[in-house]
Amino acid sequence: MVHVLNLQLAARDVEDFSDALWRLSGILGIQECPIGAEGAGFFEVREDFEFLEFGSEAAEKCAEWLEADAYRGNGELLLRVHFENDELANEDACRNAILTLETGTAFEILSILPVQDVDYLEEYRKSVRGQTFGGAGERKLWIGPPWDTPPEGVEAFVVEPGLAFGTGDHPTTQMCLASLDRLRASGARPRSFLDLGTGSGVLSAGVARFFPGARIVATDLDPLCAQEVEKTLRLNSLAPNVLEGRFGGEGDTRQLLLREERFDVVVSNIYAEVLVKLLPDIARMLNPQGLWILSGVLGSSAFETLEAQALRQGFRLERKEFRELERARLGRKEGLTRHIDTWYAAEFRKI
């Protein structure tokens, strides 16, 4: 059985003491927690670490912070030691085993508690459920995992969370899929589609469902997408040959340009910074009067920048929409607060 041992000791001794504990049999993991007036809590966060976006600068700051041991402070720390060794489950036996390590460190055993068995996969599945959202007119679309059941009367798409980006629950994916559904409902019949940055392939699956017989090229720089796209097609009762997948180096837009390939529709659910860089390539890959369906743009200023760049590349904005997504943000002063992200999607026509 797995147990957790709670130890209290001086912060300055934690690193050497933790290294020594790993020599005990059955140690599974060691977690450091600061001790305050109300007991163990979260790590203290410096003022300049209140909020970090993804990116190399954030990663470098976090690395510097961890290397400086700034989070440990000068007081005492709680060590939570997870172990699987019934001989250490007794407090006296545990203390004696630690003393044999001859660390010379003063410590206090606060408690030894059994850890209840948890089916983490099942718990994760409980947290992931399908979502219904608007399509063309009164038509409803649904995206969800294979262990959930879609409601009656919806156009359902199944995506299993896996190794590639894209579970379908993000509003950017839903807005792109709804755009494809509106295109189908308009009576348009494009003959060729490029899914640029396909991820798990749910947008390609939407194209295959809405436009049977159309040529679909799904690309992504991540080679792991190949198996995830194949899985998504299978879960949605679509044959693997409904699309042509190009992944890894073969999925680079430069390879498409070298082949001088052109498409009636380009779909791209990628971050705005990447979209701006790819704009000239997307313009060259679209046929005259071709449609560009995009999302992944966070914030109105980012969308305005993208729109201005698109107009300079010979595009006309035909439609835009946004969805708000609530998330939690942890700050040092304000604690856990509610934060709203605004994601944009759009349809541009090449003129």
Q: Tens digit of pLDDT for each residue in 75-124?
A: 788 889 999 999 999 999 999 999 999 999 999 999 999 987 777 777 77
> Residue 32: what pLDDT?
84
3-114 CATH choice from 3.10.20, 3.30.70, 3.90.1570, 1.50.10? 3.30.70
Whether residue 285 contacts residue 259, with contact meaning beta carbons closer than 8 Å, is answered with no
**Partners of residue 27 on adjacent β-strands:** 83
* Listed range (154-168, 184-198, 267-281) with the worst mean pLDDT: 154-168
The CATH number of the structural domain formed by 131-350 is 3.40.50.150
**pLDDT one-digit tens code per residue, 170-195:** 899 999 999 999 999 999 999 999 99
Q: What's the pTM value of the predicted model, to 2 decimals?
A: 0.69
Pinpoint the residues of the chain covered by CATH 3.30.70.
Answer: 3-114
Pinpoint the residues of the chain covered by CATH 3.40.50.150.
Answer: 131-350
* Listed range (84-98, 114-128, 244-258, 276-290) with the worst mean pLDDT: 114-128
> Residue 251: what pLDDT?
75
For the CA atoms of 313, 315, 317, 322, the dihedral, rounded to the nearest 10 degrees, stands at: -60
Whether residue 254 contacts residue 196, with contact meaning beta carbons closer than 8 Å, is answered with no
Q: What pLDDT band is residue 64 in, cutting at 50, 70 and 90?
A: low
Whether residue 175 contacts residue 295, with contact meaning beta carbons closer than 8 Å, is answered with yes
